[in-house]
A = this chain, B = another copy of it.
Amino acid sequence: MKKLSIVDIANELKVSKTTVSFILNGRAKEKRIGEDLVERVTKYVEEVGYKPNSLAKSLRTGKSNTIGLMVEDISNPFFASIARLIEDRAYKNGYKIIYCSTDNDTQKTRELISMFRDRHVDGYIIAPPEGIEDDVEQLLKDGLPVVMFDRHLPKVNTDYVEIDNLFSTYNATRHLIQQGYKNIGFVTFASSQTQMLARMQGYKDALKESRFAPVVKEIVFNQDEEMIIKPMMAFFKKHQDLDAVVFGTNHVGTCGLKVFNTLGIKVPGDMAVISFDDYDVFKLYSPPVTAIAQPVEEIADNVITVLLKKLNTKGGSTASHSIILKTNLQIRGSSSGLKID
Binding site for B on A (CB under 8 A): 1, 51, 53-56, 58-59, 64, 66, 73-77, 80-81, 83-84, 87-88, 91, 96-101, 114-115, 118-120, 142, 254, 257-258, 261, 280-281, 283-286
Given contacts A118-B51, A284-B281, A286-B285, whether A77 and B74 have CB atoms under 8 Å apart is: no
Note all chain B residues with C-beta closer than 8 A to A100. Answer: 87, 91, 96-97
- Give the interface SS of chain A, mostly helix, strand, loop or mixed: helix
Note all chain B residues with C-beta closer than 8 A to A88. Answer: 101
Number of copies of this chain that the complex holds: 2
Complex CA gap A99/B56 in Å reads 22
Contact check, B99 vs A97: say whether CB atoms are below 8 A apart.
yes
Find the B residue at minimum CB distance from A266.
Answer: B286
Q: Which of B59, B80, B283, B284 contacts A53 (CB 8 A)?
A: B59
Q: Which of B55, B84, B91, B283 contacts A55 (CB 8 A)?
A: B55
Complex CA gap A119/B100 in Å reads 18
Complex CA gap A114/B52 in Å reads 12
Note all chain B residues with C-beta closer than 8 A to A281. Answer: 280-281, 284
Complex CA gap A284/B83 in Å reads 25
Complex CA gap A96/B81 in Å reads 21
Contact check, A284 vs B254: say whether CB atoms are below 8 A apart.
yes
Q: Within the complex, what minimum Cβ distance (angstroms) separates A171 from chain B?
A: 25
Given contacts A254-B284, A280-B281, whether A74 and B64 have CB atoms under 8 Å apart is: no
Find the B residue at minimum CB distance from A283.
Answer: B258
Complex CA gap A337/B119 in Å reads 54
Complex CA gap A96/B116 in Å reads 9
